[in-house]
Structure 1
Amino acid sequence: MRHRMNFKNILLSLIVILALPISFVANAEGNAKVSYDEQQNHQSQLQQKNEMIVMGETQEEEEEHTEQALTHEQIVNVTDKFMDHLVQDTDQYYNVKAYETMDEFKESFYGFASKEVVDEFVDVYYEIRDGELKVIPTSTPPWFEAEEDYNVQQTEEGTYVVSQETGNELHGNYTIEIEIDLNEDQKPRIMSVNYQG
């Protein structure tokens, strides 16, 4: 009888000893699986979040690029404004009516043209003589023709180069390149003017 009891106890102990590791392993595998699934879900969420951020940045960049595009109207406005301002009203002695000094006249351009461009043009067409700001009588420079074809290319700096092949009897054929920048308010400003041909 005692043998049977011992045998039963031993058998039960063996079953328990064998069953514990199996249930522990099964439980551990279940936990590992849950942990893996959770990790996969977390990584999936991070990946989706990163994709959304990338998509958002791309969309913002496209919107910014669309906002920053230089329009035909802006090109015509700034080039016309520059030439209209360069050709000042004068009296019969070629004295400029609206401005008294060269500095004052040059500063009046700075809202829509760089200092370099202003110096380049004003110094050729105006002078101080007898203490007066005078226009030097000559023809206007070759300039952008709004009705003619032209190309626009954006530079790495974010400015735009408007190039146009044109010509007339006085100046012959030439290519003009006008670099234009847009400020924060989307207002164009002439940064440089170059001629070829």
Structure 2
Amino acid sequence: MLKKFGLGIITLILMLAFAKYYYSPGDMNPDVFVDQNEAVTVKSQNRAVVASANNNIPVSPQSQYISKEEAAPIVERLTSSFMDTLVQRTADDNEVIKYQSKEELLDQFEKISTREAALPYVRFYFEERDQSLYIVPTETPPWFKVDEDFTIKDVAHDGFTIVQENTSDLYGEYSIEMRFTNADGSWKIEEVIHR
């Protein structure tokens, strides 16, 4: 078990080292058009927000808005969970250990995102062969950084959008825009756009 885990870690390191030779951030969906909306300032009505493991974070029915401070734990938890789901443990040959199909992996993603938000990542980073699921050796996508500031816009009681400008050695300067929605009391990532 430890040997497989160690080999999985080594495989991931090698994938990261050689990833820039395989794909660029625009490869995932080069046809995406992004509307350049202005960011808005949101004022809180001093609502208490308590994060829970099942994404149930209350939004006051008296208010139509969620503040940046209230959005931060939602964003941090869901973006981290999304990346944890994307980066799967693998065997020596890059075979995913926990799931046997893209469908099973998409079912797992649906706990934290819409199927539509996860589908481009599953299509790009995974392939099915011989009734097994394999991860494609490449770098993880440019992603939300928990320790960096973000802007919140398009705010309503049932959703909001965040935009974060980042820089990385591999991708250079990039922007990530994510839409979060609250359906039936459960927050999910609805859309992710890389620029």
TM-score (norm 1): 0.63
Query: Which residue in 2 is equivalent to 1:188?
Result: 187
Which structure has the larger Rg?
A: 1
- Indicate the larger mover: 91-100 or 156-165: 156-165
1:148 pairs with 2:156: no
Q: Deviations over 1:127-173 (max 9, x none)?
A: 01233100001110000001111101135694211100001010110
Q: What is the count of residue pairs matched by the alignment?
A: 135
Cα RMSD after superposing both structures: 2.2
Instruction: Write the letter of the residue equivalent to 1:192.
Output: E
The one-character-per-residue Cα deviations of 1:72-99 (angstroms, maximum 9, x if unpaired) are 1111000000001110101101111111
Say if 2:89 and 2:98, in contact at 8 Å, map to a contact too: yes
**Which structure is higher in helix share?**
1
- Cα deviation 1:22-70 (Å, max 9, x = unaligned): xxxxxxxxxxxxxxxxxxxxxxxxxxxxxxxxxxxxxxx9753278554
User: Is 1:116 matched with 2:113?
Assistant: no
Point out which structure has higher relative CO (alpha carbons under 8 A, 6+ apart). Answer: 2
Matched letter for residue 190 of structure 2: M
Which position in structure 1 is the counterpart of 2:74? Answer: 74
1:164 is aligned to 164
Whether the 8 Å contact between 1:99 and 1:105 is mirrored in structure 2 is: yes
CA–CA separation in structure 1 for the residues paired with 2:91 and 2:170: 26
Alignment partner of 2:189: what SS? Answer: strand
> CA 1:193 to 1:147, structure 2 compared with 1: closer, same or farther past 3 Å?
same
What does residue range 23-172 of structure 1 map to in structure 2 within 5 Å? Answer: 64-65=62-63, 68-69=66-67, 70-155=70-155, 158-172=158-172
Paired-residue identity, %: 27
SS in 1 for 2:84: helix
> Structure 1: any 5+ residue segments left out of the alignment?
1-60
What is the TM-score with the length of structure 2 in the denominator? 0.63
Task: Give the structure 2 partner of residue 39 of structure 1.
Answer: none
